[in-house]
Amino acid sequence: MVALSDAITNIDIDIIHLRSCHYELKFQQKGHGIGLARCTNFRNRTYHEKNINGFFAREKQGSCPRTAGHGDNNLSPLDLQTPTAFDNYYYKNLLVCKGLLHSDQQLFNGGSTDSIVHAYAENPDAFYSDFIAAMIKMGDNKPHTVAMASFFAFLVVAITILGLLIQGSSHPQLSPDFYSDTCPDLLPIIQHQVQLAVAEERRMGASLLRLFFHDCFVNGCDASVLLDDTLTFTGEKNAAPNKNSIRGFEVIDAIKAAVEEACPGVVSCADILTITARDSVVELGGPYWDVKLGRRDARTASQAAANTSIPAPTNSLDQLITSFHAQGLSVQDMVALSGAHTIGLARCTNFRNRTYHEKNINGFFAKERQESCPRIVGHGDNNLAPLDVQSPTVFDNNYYKNLLGYKGLLHSDQQLFIGGSTDSIVHAYAENPDAFYADFIAAMIKMGDNKPLTGTDGEIRMDCRKEAKLPRHTRPRRQQFGTSCIQTPTLFDNSYFLNLVAMKGLLHSDQELFNGGSTDAIRKPRCLHPRLHHSHDKDGRHQSSYWLRWINQDQLQAVKTMASFSGLAITLLSIVALFLGNSHARLTPDFYEDSCPDLLSIVQAQVEMAIKNEKRMGASLLRLFFHDCFVNGCDGSVLLDDTPAFVGEKNAAPNANSVRGFEVIDVIKAAVEEACPGVVSCADILAISARDSVVQVRVIKIGTSFLFLFFFGERKQRLEKPMNSRLVLIKKKCRVENFLQIIHVNSLHQFLIQLGGPDWQVKLGRRDARTASQAAANSSIPPPTSNLSELISSYAAQGLSVQDMVALSGAHTIGKARCTTFRNRIYQEANIDSFFTNTRKPNCPGTPGQGDDNLAPLDIQTPTRFDNSYFVNLVAWKGLLHSDQALFNGGSTDTIVQNYSQNPDAFIQDFVTAMIKMGDIKPLTGRNGEIRTNCRRLN
């Protein structure tokens, strides 16, 4: 301790404040935490030191073997409780001897700093204040220049203060007294209702606790589990882990009604679920804890996420650990939360296989369970048995005692005690109920902090079963935008002002800045694309670059203007945004500007050649990108061949005999590798190829002269030029919706005419996945038989809105489909134009097996041109696939389809926005993934 103190004193910095440097950002694979330490740094402490909590030491030993050289690089969080939040729990951990590093615990070990640790553990504001002062002091330590030191000190403090303003604690708006003023009787109201429900049926306590579990494991604790199915999404109630399983919805309805009567429109269903879970535990004899409140309710639900996120009763130990880890919960949290099975009942279908076939089960216990659960499937499936054979309606630690006697009812229960890494924790909880209660409470609080909706996110439902009616001013407006610059919601640029000029300000106060008043002249932009500065290189080739490459004095002045005490958070956010970039800091259009400057032209040339050889290829390359992004993000996984380690996605049901273009990607990759070996990912090549396929071209051979009629605005102009002259690009105005670009190709008697597809800047910097998942492809990619609600749910699972879904479906304006995907529609469905069906039937016989692979264009009007004819077809009931026509079938998306059918510019704009948004789905960046040299296999 003395040596450590002396070392810090030598540079005149306050030691105790800066121990929180263990919150420094350390980006790890999959983003699983900040502030992690390697096993080599804490091995000696966990095995040999005395001033360490025993349970804590055993948990750390589980991931850090005693023998040097084994697991040296395994990571563990420096802050056990809130490893991803900047708060004062580090000091609370020290008070109970849970400092991970030797140097951490030295701060609270009977020495001179004990009182300071105590103070920070009790008073987070004191810690924050002293931390900021110490950071500024450290930033002034021997700077090369005063300006540089001040800048970095300011930036660190700005980010720190911003984190405190935005986060506060782990979730700033979650607090036990959140409703103390707005609904002071909330807790007794819920407690009374829970008491009534449990008195009527003891099992209900377990059911209400389980509802909370199943809610938090699916996109966070947001009450999505309570929502009934709607036209826009399929809810979670009928997901495999929930169907015929979760219950208690009527009790939640009764509680909500009682709360609404006392405090209408104030308390969320998510918070009611949280309080109800705690009160259920207490009512059955378990511990009490303060519940943090302030959550808001989700406006949607995801059956797909419920199917994949909630652990199953058949899970192995590794699967359980992975499932809980995905929710930010540790192994100890998992074992403690599993103790909720000390109450409640399970259906025969969930334990039949265990009682008849597994070996690690007590024989007498198995025979007792078999009496109410026949061996034959379908007989007694819904018969119930207690999860805790000793005290099924009392919340205690007998669940763990049962596991020691091999009387775990479910396979997943007994996995906690089967000679694995969790045996010691089960032993500890079986012997010490207080240790179980303490860890159960900590884990419940931690789980309750899982992705809550707070502030203005989500809503407060009046009825927990259905989404609240949005006020008129918050309802999405139907898109009626004409041609304008594409919006850039995740990029700091001047698009906001271009939107105002196009009368597309979202808020009333926005549009007031450009509404015939004194500020019109200030807000009106120059005639430039909102995101691009156009220039040409030395060879005359067109180039683009970001306007905001550097911060200029005007921007700094704007920041100064914003600065005021009340706007401090906004000011700091703006500064940090200018330095740190957009939503994906490492995704940028100029990512390869230095490392592979000819990348875009190489890919464009190869795509043009492929489409020239086969026009359908443009649609195929675009579809490859879709099917890649929908399976664990845009990571090039769809390109991988099967290996002994995994089954790839190429033969998944939505892809087999369907996705194609792999050879084209191979050719593109080879050309790129020749120019820039080992630099460009296959994921980025897919993204660029998709864009270039939309901006597809048609080759027209002509003679020594030509006659073109082109349109510019409302004027028609006739051009007649000799072939050996050069035509310049005709593009001199901001409004470019009604023109054909004409480019002369020197001595070749060819012209390239753009076919109407939009161009946009592709954000780059993705890396390639090291694995693929056929199972994820089967479940994530929407099939052509999908109805509207299934489509909406599928896209929502990828973070895409209903409007994104309709716009992206417009990609079916190009390409073809196999007879097997539309046979049922043309022979069986009624919502289809009869003349259209008659044109499809000759090429697609009604008998399966005949003509299955025959192709038909998805867009009957202009199958090789990217335009809005797809939507025109839908309005005329000429959608080829069932999933196509579902977009226009008397449902919620009819108005969007009608708008796109009448306004091609609205479609083009929304398609580009949605493509950019889809390209941002879970990219692998930084050190995650790899750069494949062959897109079909791992390096």
Q: Which of 415, 361, 482 is nearest to 904 (CA)?
A: 482
Are 79 and 92 in contact by the 8 Å Cβ rule? The answer is: no
Helix (H, G, I), strand (E, B) or coil at 897: helix
Whole-number Cα distances in Å, 51 to 2, 80, 137, 432:
18, 16, 32, 20
Distance CA(360)–CA(329), nearest Å, equals 27
Which H helix or E strand runs over 61? helix 54-63
Q: Cα–Cα distance between 557 and 4 in angstroms, integer?
A: 43
699: left (phi over 0), alpha (psi -120 to 50) or beta: beta
**Three-class secondary structure assignment of 3-28:** HHHHHHHCCCCCHHHHHHHHHCCCCC
793 contacts 814 by C-beta, under 8 angstroms: no
Q: What amino acid positions are annotated as catalytic residues? A: 214
Look up tokens 């998992």; give the residue.
334
19 three-state secondary structure: helix
Amino acid at 76: S
Residue 83's nearest CA partner among 18, 154, 34 is 34
Report the relative pairing of strands 816-818 and 855-857 from DSSP bridges. Answer: antiparallel
Q: Cα–Cα distance between 905 and 738 in angstroms, integer?
A: 10
What's the sign of the alpha-carbon dihedral 343, 347, 353, 356?
A: positive
The label of the residue with tokens 């082109």 reads 710
* Count of all residues that appear for the chain in the document: 939
Given a contact cutoff of 8 angstroms between Cβ atoms, the answer to whether 631 and 922 are in contact is no
Q: Residue 421 in contact with residue 331, Cβ under 8 Å?
A: yes
**∠ CA 245-247-251, rounded to 5°:** 175
From CA 111, how far away is CA 4, in angstroms rounded? 13
Closest CA to 882 of 814, 804, 782, 793: 782
| List of residues 6+ apart from 278 with CB closer than 8 A | 288, 289, 291, 444
CB 778 within 8 A of CB 938: no
Say if residue 535 is exposed, middle or buried (CB neighbours under 10 Å; 0-12, 13-18, 19+).
exposed
Give CA–CA dist 793/232, Å, rounded. Answer: 7
By C-alpha distance, which of 676, 696, 679 is closest to 607? 696
CB 937 within 8 A of CB 640: yes
Nearest to 343 by CA among 544, 201, 466, 538: 201
Number of Cβ within a 10 Å radius of residue 373: 23
How many alpha carbons lie under 13 Å from residue 640 in its C-beta half-sphere?
29
30-60 burial, b at 16+ Cβ within 10 Å, e below that, comes to eeebbbbbebebbbebbeeeeebeebbbbbb
* Cβ proximity of 771 and 645 under 8 Å: yes
Question: For the packed helices 553-562 and 568-580, what is the interaxial angle rounded to 10 degrees?
Answer: 160
Bridge-based pairing state of the strands 742-744 and 750-754: antiparallel
Cα end-to-end distance, the chain, whole Å: 47
